[in-house]
Amino acid sequence: WQIDCKKPKVSSSIHLYGNNLSGKVTGACDNMTPQHKKGAQQSPAPFSVTTDQFSFKEGDEIIVRLLAGSTPFIGFMLQAREVGGSSPLGSFTVTSGEAQLLTCNGLPNSAVSHTSDSPKSSIHGIWRAPTSGNLNSIQFSTGCGSTKVCFSQPLNCDPGVSPDCYFLSAMTSPGDTAVQLEMTGPSDGYIAIGFSDDQSMGNDDIYICGKDSGGLIQLQHAFSTGRKIPDILPLGNVSDVKSSVNNSIISCSFTTRNPISTQRSGGSSSLYYLMIVHGPSNNGTIGFHTGTFISDTKVDISSPQVVTSEKEPPIIKAHGSLMLIAWMTTGSLGMIIARYLKGVARGKHYLGKDVWFLAHVSLMTLTVAATIIAFILAFSEVGGWSGGAHPVLGCIVMILAFFQPIAAMFRCGPHHHWRFLFNWSHALNAVAIKVLAVAAIFTGLSYFSTSEDSWLLKVMGGFVGWEATLYILDSFLTTILSATAVLDFSFLPQTRMELLLLVLFFLGNIAFLVALLVGIGSS
């Protein structure tokens, strides 16, 4: 949970203490570290911290509960601090004899601890916010895996720390139909969570947290039918709605007693795939999502756990790999051979054809074939139009690449007076395909690049720079040689230089290609 206010970010720190039976642990006020001989526990925390509200202002009081998991705890210490700070913030009051107040850093009642070694299943105290000073957001432990189902992208990211974190949590209470849901993530329009029978869009129960026509955040209940914009439903039995937007990070939390409905054809189940999507909106109407994260398994939201994200299907990985091979290697080599090595290999024939021409045709045939196969694979996996810039660019590349060899088959002879029209149109179409293919690769890699540093996109940027550098060097070499009247393309030094640049070009492209293929394979 994140509690929003308007100024420094604050978090509570909880530690369990077992050696000091009296709970007088003021010696740990500064570092909040138990004075135990054993090391810190590395597994998920066996407790959770909850609050009774999601927003506050100066002087407000918030009930904070420390709840045990399957095993009771004996000792504890609770304190609120600014994130990264070392001083307590606010004050506590307690009503249970199992908890007492401590004075830390000269501030009375600024921490809570145990009074005995009796087993405890729950403790609650009331935290009072300062009446003045710079306050912003206070973040309490989410209880992921102990009291809540949590699903995030990147995995285990903290929305209170990382601005690029998409986060969903669901918590239920025994014997109660209510589900407490929270969603947060960066978006200029909306974020939404969905419950589905499968890992494809359609027949999904959805809650949307997005901007209305006035730029304010509103919560909507919806149901998706196919791959079009979901149908908005009445909000229904939903309460405790809290929403905010801060630096393009949209957040909503609420409690719902609406039944989850996916309109199953038969049977019933409490297991669902979880979805997080985000995208743009226009005057309160959501647009097609630009990012989707789906759990890799069905989840029982009444069973606390940390959920992992679905990996890209093998067919989509094959699609991406083929497009990379086509337009980073075979297509690039075919184009540079036609552009710069035509003169170098002039007069060298095989099967009655110029060697450069055979190499160019072979490489471009492989490129077009790989593009067609990649297009078919993606279309068969998605099963329809998926929206966004990537499929638009991909379709244009597919169409232009398909007609490029067809136009070449019907070209006029090399000495025909209209031949220059074919030469220019063929070259310009190739350049257009190359530029659009690179743009399509960038947008496609964004689906695979889920790390915070987006290293796949950076590698692709490095490839573009590398290829541009080699094109410039080759053009420079050709210009210099022409300017010095070295026009005999069989001249040995130029041949060696051109071949050297070709080998260098190939090795560099292969290095970038391998890096991207490894990234796709491990995404």
List, for residues 288-326, the tens digit of each pLDDT value: 777 888 888 899 988 888 888 765 667 888 888 898 898
Q: What pLDDT, on the 0 to 100 scale, is given for residue 233?
A: 92
Lowest mean pLDDT among 19-33, 64-78, 364-378, 421-435: 19-33
The helix-helix angle for 455-483 and 331-340 (nearest 10°) equals 10
Return the structure tokens found at 29: 């006020």
Task: Say if residue 401's pLDDT is above 80.
Answer: yes
What CATH number has the domain bearing residue 44?
Answer: 2.60.40.4060
Residue predicted with more confidence, 81 or 469: 469
249 touches 189 (CB < 8 A): no
Q: Are β-strands 138-139 and 10-15 bridged in parallel, bridged antiparallel, or unpaired?
A: parallel
Are residue 275 and residue 422 in the same domain, yes or no? no
Residue at 469 is within a domain = yes
Q: What pLDDT, on the 0 to 100 scale, is given for residue 18?
A: 44
Q: Is 199 helix (H, G, I), strand (E, B) or coil?
A: coil
> Residue 294: which of 204, 184, 188, 161 has the closest Cα?
204
Residue predicted with more confidence, 133 or 261: 261
Average pLDDT over residues 433-442: 88
Residue at 197 is within a domain = yes
What confidence category does residue 347 fall into, taking pLDDT thresholds of 50, 70 and 90?
A: low
Residue at 434 is within a domain = yes
Q: What pLDDT, on the 0 to 100 scale, is given for residue 509?
A: 87
- The pair phi, psi for residue 186, each rounded to 5°, is -75, 130
177 burial via Cβ count (<10 Å: 0-12, 13-18, 19+): exposed
Q: Is 110 helix (H, G, I), strand (E, B) or coil?
A: strand
Predicted structure pTM score: 0.48
Are residue 205 and residue 293 in the same domain, yes or no? yes
Residue predicted with more confidence, 237 or 264: 237
Domain limits for position 256: 149-307
Structural domain ending residue among the three candidates 307, 339, 359: 307
Task: Say if residue 124's pLDDT is above 60.
Answer: yes
The span from the CA of 30 to the CA of 108, in Å, is 15
Angle (nearest 5°) at CA 172 between 168 and 178: 100
The span from the CA of 46 to the CA of 287, in Å, is 41
Are residue 352 and residue 379 in the same domain, yes or no? yes
Are residue 396 and residue 473 in the same domain, yes or no? yes
* Helices and strands counted in the chain (H then E): 7, 27
Q: What pLDDT, on the 0 to 100 scale, is given for residue 494?
A: 54
The helix-helix angle for 314-325 and 492-521 (nearest 10°) equals 170
Are residue 472 and residue 351 in the same domain, yes or no? yes
Task: Say if residue 277's pLDDT is above 50.
Answer: yes
Return the structure tokens found at 491: 């001249």
What confidence category does residue 222 fall into, taking pLDDT thresholds of 50, 70 and 90?
A: very high
The terminus-to-terminus CA distance of the chain in angstroms comes to 28
Angle (nearest 5°) at CA 181 between 176 and 184: 170
Are residue 235 and residue 101 in the same domain, yes or no? no
Q: What pLDDT, on the 0 to 100 scale, is given for residue 485?
A: 46
Residue at 144 is within a domain = no
Structural domain ending residue among the three candidates 139, 172, 191: 139
Residue predicted with more confidence, 150 or 390: 150
Q: What pLDDT, on the 0 to 100 scale, is given for residue 238?
A: 92
- Average pLDDT across the chain, whole number: 78
113 burial via Cβ count (<10 Å: 0-12, 13-18, 19+): buried
Q: What pLDDT, on the 0 to 100 scale, is given for residue 192?
A: 94
Domain count, the chain: 3
Task: Please count the other Cβ atoms lying within 10 Å of the Cβ belonging to residue 448.
Answer: 20
287 touches 210 (CB < 8 A): no
CA of 244: how far to CAs of 191, 237, 256, 419, in Å?
12, 21, 18, 63
Residue at 248 is within a domain = yes
Task: Say if residue 515's pLDDT is above 60.
Answer: yes
Residue at 382 is within a domain = yes
Average pLDDT over residues 52-75: 78
Task: Say if residue 14's pLDDT is above 50.
Answer: no
What confidence category does residue 265 fall into, taking pLDDT thresholds of 50, 70 and 90?
A: very low
The helix-helix angle for 389-409 and 419-448 (nearest 10°) equals 150
- The pair phi, psi for residue 213, each rounded to 5°, is -65, -20
CA atoms within 13 A on the CB side of 2: 27
Task: Please count the other Cβ atoms lying within 10 Å of the Cβ belonging to residue 83.
Answer: 15
Are residue 291 and residue 173 in the same domain, yes or no? yes
Average pLDDT over residues 150-163: 79
- The pair phi, psi for residue 284, each rounded to 5°, is 90, -5
Are residue 244 and residue 168 in the same domain, yes or no? yes
Q: What pLDDT, on the 0 to 100 scale, is given for residue 13?
A: 41
25 touches 162 (CB < 8 A): no
Q: Is 402 helix (H, G, I), strand (E, B) or coil?
A: helix
> Residue 288: which of 162, 398, 391 has the closest Cα?
391
Q: What pLDDT, on the 0 to 100 scale, is given for residue 340?
A: 67
Where are the extended beta strands (E) located within 238-311? 238-246, 249-256, 271-279, 281-282, 285-286, 291-294, 299-300, 305-307
Q: What pLDDT, on the 0 to 100 scale, is given for residue 496?
A: 66
Are residue 374 and residue 499 in the same domain, yes or no? yes
Average pLDDT over residues 212-234: 86
Are residue 464 and residue 480 in the same domain, yes or no? yes
> Residue 24: which of 129, 125, 130, 101 has the closest Cα?
101
DSSP helix, strand, coil percent of the chain (3-state; round to 5): 30, 30, 40
Lowest mean pLDDT among 89-98, 100-109, 127-136, 196-205: 127-136
Q: What pLDDT, on the 0 to 100 scale, is given for residue 492?
A: 44
What CATH number has the domain bearing residue 323?
Answer: 1.20.120
Sign of CA pseudo-dihedral 182, 184, 187, 192: negative
Q: Is 118 helix (H, G, I), strand (E, B) or coil?
A: coil
Are residue 87 and residue 177 in the same domain, yes or no? no
Structural domain ending residue among the three candidates 108, 139, 170: 139
Average pLDDT over residues 473-502: 61
150 touches 167 (CB < 8 A): yes
Residue at 391 is within a domain = yes
Are residue 168 and residue 99 in the same domain, yes or no? no
Sign of CA pseudo-dihedral 173, 176, 177, 182: negative
344 touches 489 (CB < 8 A): yes
What CATH number has the domain bearing residue 194?
Answer: 2.60.40.1210
CA of 296: how far to CAs of 77, 104, 151, 309, 447, in Å?
37, 45, 11, 5, 16
Q: Is 364 helix (H, G, I), strand (E, B) or coil?
A: helix
Residue at 50 is within a domain = yes
Task: Say if residue 328's pLDDT is above 70.
Answer: yes
Task: Say if residue 16's pLDDT is above 80.
Answer: no
> Residue 289: which of 185, 213, 363, 364 has the closest Cα?
185
